[in-house]
Structure 1
C-alpha cells in the first residue's frame, strides 16, 4: 500500500471512528455509525446482534432480508464463547458473490458485515479496534435506556405517591369535618350552658367536658398539621407581630393546668422583645404552646421555666433564644434520637402513660425548621428536660392591637341575619347565640333555600355553611353575588362556616367571594368579632 493509498485509507477509517458514539440514543447512534461503515467500506449489509437473543438484531441495514444469516450469527457467537483468545474476526463466510465478516463486540454480541470484495488485513485489524469503541457506545446507550426506564418508574411512583397523598389529605379533611360537626354542637352548647346559673358541681362537670373537647380538637388539629407538613403543603404566613404580646398570653393559658398539678410555671421574656418583628405568629405560638404543654404533661412536681432571651441585635434584625425547661421525668439517652419521631413516640410506654398522639414535638420540630431554626433537647432521666431553639427575626413596625370589644346584649338588635346550615344541632347552636344578642334571623337547610330567601328579602349578613345538600355554600354564594350584580344591590357580608381545616381554605373561600371564614366548632367570641367587623357600621347608620 503506497503513501497516497495509506492516507486515503487512514482518512476513511477516521471518518468511521468519528461516526461512533455521537448520541446516547441507541437507534440514532447505530444508524449513524452503521450507515457510515456500510458506505465507507462499500458494504451491502450490516447488523448488530445481541448475544443473548441473536434472532432479534439490535440494528441492521437493510432492515429486511438478513434473517437467513441468523444461523451464521449463532455460529459466530458460539465461536466467541469457545475462543479463549478472541481473533480479529470471529468468522468469515463466503456466499454467492459476497463475503460475511463477524466482528466481536465484547459486551454486546457481534457485528455482521457483508461485502462483495474481501477486506484487507489492515482494515480488519483497525475494524476490530473500532468495534471495541462501538461496543462501548452501545453499552452506554443501554445504560442510558436503563436510567431512563428507572426515571420513568420513579416519575410514575412519584405520581402515584402524590395521588396517595392527595387521597390521604382528602380522607383526613373528611374525617376532620365529620368529627368537627358534632363537636361544634358540643363546644357551642358548653359555652351556652356555662352562661347559665350552675352550682359548683355542675360547673366542674362543664370544665371536664370542655377540657375533653379541647383535647379532642387538639388531636384533630395535630393530625391535620402533621399531614400538611408531611405532604409539604404547610405554608407560613409572615406578618408584623409583637413577640411579647403574642406569646405571653399563650403561655398564661397554661397556668391553670400547671396549678392543678401544683407546678410552678415561670415565664421570663427580655424587655427588648416588645418591639415588632416579622414572623408567623400562629405557628410560633403553636411551637411554644406545644413545648409548654409537653413540659407540664411530663412533670409531676417542681416547675416549668419558659425563657425568651435576646441574644443578638442590630439595626435590621434580632436573634432570640427560646427555651422551655422542666423538672419532669426526663428522657433516657436511648430515646433522645427518637424524640421527634411521631411514629416511634406513639409506641413508647410514656405515651401510653401520659396520653397524646406523639405528634406535638414532631410538628414543633418541623415548624421550627421552617421558621429558620433547629429544635434541640437536653435531658437527664429523673432530673428534667430542656427544649430550645434560636430564630432570627427581621425588625418591623409594631402592629397596632385593637382594643377588645364588649358586645352589648342589644348591640345587633334588629339586624337581619340569614343562616344556611343543614345540621340541626348547629342550627340550634347558632339560634341560641343569635337570640342572646336579640338579632332577627332566618335559618335555611341548604344553599338553594338560602338563595331563595336572599333574593326575596334584604339581609344585613349571611352565615353560610360550605358543605350542604342540594346546593353547597360556594354555589349559593356565586348565585347571591350574581343577584347583587344584576339587581345593582349593595354587597352583603357573607361569612363561610366550615369544618374543613386544610391549608389555604380560608384564603380559598375569600377568593371565591366570602368576606370571612369561621372554622367549626364555632366560638361565641369569634362570631361576635365578625359581627362587630361587619355590622357595626350598619348599626351606627341605623342609630344615627
Structure 2
C-alpha cells in the first residue's frame, strides 16, 4: 500500500499543475484523512503503516506543495518570458516590415526621380553636344557652351553616383567575372587624369608591379570605378605635390592572387575625428567642406560599398596638411596566358536607304536623337507614343526602332509586344532613363534587342545604332 501510494504521489507531482494553496490543502487533507483512517483501526495500524514506508509517503506529501510551488513559479516565469518574447518578436517583425517598406519606398523614389531627372538631362547633354559641333561666332559663345558642358557632366556624374549607391544598397549590383588586362586598364586610367594633374601642376605616379599576371578574372568596370573615385578625390584635394597609385602582389597560389592597392597624396589630409564618417553618404570632412572643392560625398561611400561586394575593406591613414593614404586588398583568379584581343571584323557603314523610327514623348529628346541621325545621313520618322509607333510600323518599312519605355497612351513594352506578335524581327532598342538592372533584363526578355540609358553621349548612340545596322567587310 505504501508503494502504491508513493507511486500515486510521484504521478501527481509529474502531472498536476496546482498553485501552492491547492497543494497545501491536498497534502494536509491526505495526511489527516489517512492518519485518521488508520487510527480508527487502532494505534498499531498507524505505527505499522509508518514503519513499512508510510513515513516516506507522508514526508513526500509535506514536500509536495513546495515542489508544485517551485514548478508553478518557474512555469509562470517561462510563460511571462515567452509572452514577452512573442510581443518582442511581433514588434521586431513590424519594424522589419517597416524597414523593408521604407527601403522599397526609397528605391522606388530614387528610381522615379532618377528617371525624371535623367530624361531632361538627356536633352541638356544632347543640345550641348549639338551646339559644340556648330560654328560658334565668338569666344564668349564658345566659353558659355563649354561651361554648360562642364556643368552637365558634373550633374550627370552626381545623378549616376546617387543611382549607383541606391543600386548597390538595393542589391541590384552583381559583380561580373570576366578576364581583363590590369596593366592596360591602369594605362588607360592614367591617361584620363593627365589633363587634370597638368592643370594643377601635380605629379601623377603609377607604381605598378611589372610581374603581375597577364590577365585577371573579375569585374574590371567596378575595379576601375573604385580606383577612379580614389584618384579623383586625391587630385581634387591636392594643390601641390603628388598623387600616387601603388599596385603590388600580396600573396599568390596556383589559381588566385591577392593584390594590394594604395592611393597616396600630399594633399590637405583628413582630421582623425572625421575619418570614420567620410565613408558615409553625403558626408565630407570639415576641411573639405570649407574648401572651394565641394562635392556630394558619394564617391567614398560608393567605393566602400563596392569593396564590400569584392569581399574587401578600405583602410585610411591621414594627417592634416600631410596627405592621405587609402588602401585595400582584392583577390582575383588569374591566368598567365596573354589575353586574346578580338580584332574588328567589319567597318560600320550607314546606308542611305536605311530608315529608323524614333519613338519618344519628349520633344527635346526627339530633337537630339533625330539630329544625330541626320548628321550621318540616316532617314527617320518620329512618333510620340507607342500607339502611333505601331500605326507607323504597319504602314512603313523600318530597319530599326528606337523606343522609349515610359510614354502615354501606349508604353514601349506594349508597343514592342504588339510588333512582335506580328512576327517581326526588326531590331527594337529601348531608350530609357532607368539604369536598374531588373528593368534592363525585363526589357531584353520582352522583345527588345538592345538597351541605351539616358543621358547618352553621341558616340554611345552611334555605337548602338550601328550594332543593329548592316555592315560591310
Give the TM-score, by structure 2 length: 0.85
Q: Which residue in 2 is equivalent to 1:512?
A: 446
* Residue 242 (str. 1) matches residue 242 (str. 2): no
Contact 2:27 2:65 (8 Å CA) reproduced? no
The CA distance in 1 between the partners of 2:433 and 2:205, in whole Å, is: 36
* Candidates 107, 116, 120, aligned match of 1:178: 116
For each residue in 1:245-281, what CA deviation from the matched residue of structure 2 results, as whole angstroms up to 9, or x when unmatched? 3343234222222222222222233334462222122
1:10 matched residue in structure 2: 6
Q: Does 1:143 align with 2:81?
A: yes
Q: How does 1:3-402 map to 2 (within 5 A)?
A: 4-5=1-2, 7-19=3-15, 33-34=16-17, 88=24, 122-123=60-61, 125-198=63-136, 201-273=140-212, 275-343=214-282, 345-346=283-284, 348-353=286-291, 354-396=293-335, 400-402=340-342
C-alpha separation in 1, matches of 2:313 and 2:66:
61
Secondary structure at 1:254's aligned position in 2? Answer: helix
Seen in structure 2, the aligned counterparts of structure 1 residues 381 and 403 have a Cα distance that, compared at 3 Å, is farther
Shift of 1:434: 0.4
Contact 1:264/1:303 (CA < 8 Å) preserved in 2?
A: yes
- Contact persistence 2:213–2:334 (CA under 8 A): no
Aligned to 2:44: none
- Highest RCO, 1 vs 2 (Cα 8 Å, sep ≥ 6): 2
Distance in 1 of aligned mates of 2:318 and 2:454: 38
Task: Encode CA deviations 1:349-378: one digit per residue, 9 max, x unaligned.
Answer: 523522111121111112112112221111
Give a deviation string over 1:378-435, Cα, whole Å, max 9, x none: 1121111111111110125765455579977x62322121111110000000010000
- Give the gaps of 5 or more residues in structure 2: 30-56
Output the CA distance in 1 between the equivalents of 2:198 and 2:213. Answer: 27
Aligned 8 A contact 1:495 1:518 in 2? yes
Q: Partner of 2:175: helix, strand, or coil?
A: coil
Say which is worse superposed, 516-525 or 137-146, in terms of deviation.
Answer: 137-146
Measured against aligned partners, the alpha-carbon deviations of 1:426-465 in whole angstroms (never above 9, x if no partner) come to 0000010000111111110011111122233222111111
In 2, are the aligned partners of 1:245 and 1:274 still within 8 Å (CA)?
Answer: no
CA separation of 1:437 and 1:273: change in aligned 2, threshold 3 A:
farther
Q: Structure 2 matches for 1:464-543, cutoff 5 A?
A: 464-484=403-423, 489=424, 491-536=425-470, 539-540=471-472
The 3-state SS of whatever aligns with 1:512 is coil
Equivalent residue number for residue 54 of structure 2: none
Distance in 1, Cα, partners of 2:290 & 2:387: 48
Question: Secondary structure, in 3 states, of the residue corresponding to 1:438?
Answer: coil
Q: Distance in 2 between matches of 1:451 and 1:399?
A: 45
Aligned counterparts of 1:462 and 1:175: Cα–Cα separation in 2: 26
Runs of 4+ residues deviating >6 angstroms: 90-93, 404-408
Report the Cα distance in structure 2 between the residues aligned to 1:274 and 1:224, rounded to whole angstroms.
33
Give the secondary-structure state (helix, strand or coil) at the position aligned to 2:119: helix
* CA spacing shift, 1:286–1:505, aligned 2, 3 Å: farther
Q: Secondary structure at the match of 1:373?
A: coil
> Matches of 1:273 and 1:508 in 2, distance apart?
39
Distance 2:341 2:151 in 1: 31
Q: Specify whether residues 251 and 200 from structure 1 end up closer, same or farther in structure 2 by C-alpha distance, changes over 3 A only.
A: farther
CA contact (8 A) 1:88 1:125 kept: no
**Match of 2:422, SS?**
helix
On the 8 A contact 1:240/1:398 being kept in 2, the answer is no
Contact 1:464 1:495 in 2 (8 A): yes
In the alignment of these two chains, the number of paired residues is: 443
